[in-house]
Amino acid sequence: MADRKSSSSAGVSSRLTVRRKEKAENEAKKEEKPSKEGEKVEVNGTSVPEETGEAATGNGAPANGENAEKPEPMELPPFEIITGDRMDPFFYKFQFKNVEYSSGRNKTFLCYLVDQGPGASGLLRGFIEDEHASGHAEEAFFQQVLPNYDPALKYTVTWYMSSSPCSACAAKLAEILKARKSLHLSIYSARLFEWEEPEIQAGLKALAAAGCKLRMMKPLDFTYTWNTFVENDEQTFVLWEDCQENYEYYQDKLADILQ
């Protein structure tokens, strides 16, 4: 595997970069962490109790005036689902790399093709990106891309995903496929998401039993998705080292799960 071999300098560099970033973020959080009420804080090298209600000053007066108010906590908006026609090439190369250890790859990218059969208005194509903090890309597809189902149409849906579905998404997809008999779904994944977990394995089995075709992305699939879903400026895609070996590794794991 690319990220398991010490001889792969690119994989090591990627992991080191991510680890440095995570370490820096953790250190920043520790520095910013407010002390609890009554907790001792360091002042000129001496531990003293923290003043409550007002800042400690030489004359006991509040540092910001008697009517100073505590700032309201800022509420960050939830991450939004992102959709588009072609994605950034940097994101593609990082998120779709089929390494075993996926540190820092905390998103799911889902590239889709939808053929609704004769009489439909052409082929639907694009990508969906999530942040694992709100709805997942699999669910967003049926909310934003294919919200309406016409049983008179025959849907052929193909997904190319940066990682396979989680257990919750696999269960939802299995229910959708059972309810929508004329919808056929194929999922080609770059990596297996937490494949060692029993609930993940059960979800993939249920998804396959519901009629979904599951397969890992082959080297040719990466070239195809680069040309079809990425703003590549007509640059030729160069596969990373061990891409074929990594595909075979994951494909064997998936075959073991589904047998």
**Tokens 């967003």 sit at which residue?**
140
Domain that holds residue 129: 101-258
Residue 24 placed within a domain: no
* CA end-to-end distance (rounded Å), the chain: 23
Alpha carbon distance 64, 183 (integer Å): 64
Q: How many domains does the chain have?
A: 1
CATH number at residue 190: 3.40.140.10
Q: Evaluate whether residue 15 is within a structural domain.
A: no
Q: How many whole angstroms separate alpha carbon 25 and alpha carbon 27?
A: 5
pLDDT tier for residue 80 given thresholds of 50, 70 and 90: low
State the Cα–Cα distance between residues 143 and 162, nearest whole angstrom.
20
Beta pairing partners, 188: 160, 215
3-state percent breakdown (helix, strand, coil) of the chain, nearest 5: 35, 20, 45
40: β partners: 49
Residue 28 within a domain: no
Calpha distance 53→37 (Å, rounded): 9
Distance CA 157, CA 19 (A): 37
At 225 the pLDDT is: 96
Query: Are the C-beta atoms of residues 145 and 154 closer than 8 Å to each other?
Result: no
Domain annotation covers residue 121: yes
Strand partners, 187: 159, 214
Q: What is the pLDDT of residues 96-148, one digit of tens each?
A: 999 877 666 767 899 999 999 886 777 899 999 876 555 788 988 998 899 98
Residue 155 lies in a domain: yes
Whose tokens are 């309810």? That residue is 179
Q: How far apart are CA 187 and CA 110, in angstroms?
A: 10
What is the pLDDT, as a whole number, of residue 9? 36
- Active-site positions read 138
CA dihedral of residues 132, 134, 139, 140 (deg, nearest 10): -110
Asked if the model's pLDDT at residue 75 lies above 60, the reply is no
The reply to whether 68 falls in a domain is no
pLDDT at 257 over 70: yes
Whether 43 is in a domain gets the answer: no
| Nearest-angstrom CA–CA distance, 132 and 83 | 15
Alpha carbon distance 59, 63 (integer Å): 10
Whether 125 is in a domain gets the answer yes
Q: How confident is the model at residue 4 (pLDDT cuts 50, 70, 90)?
A: very low
pLDDT of residue 144: 87
pLDDT digits (tens, 9 = 90+) for 20-66: 444 444 444 444 444 444 444 444 444 444 444 333 344 444 444 44
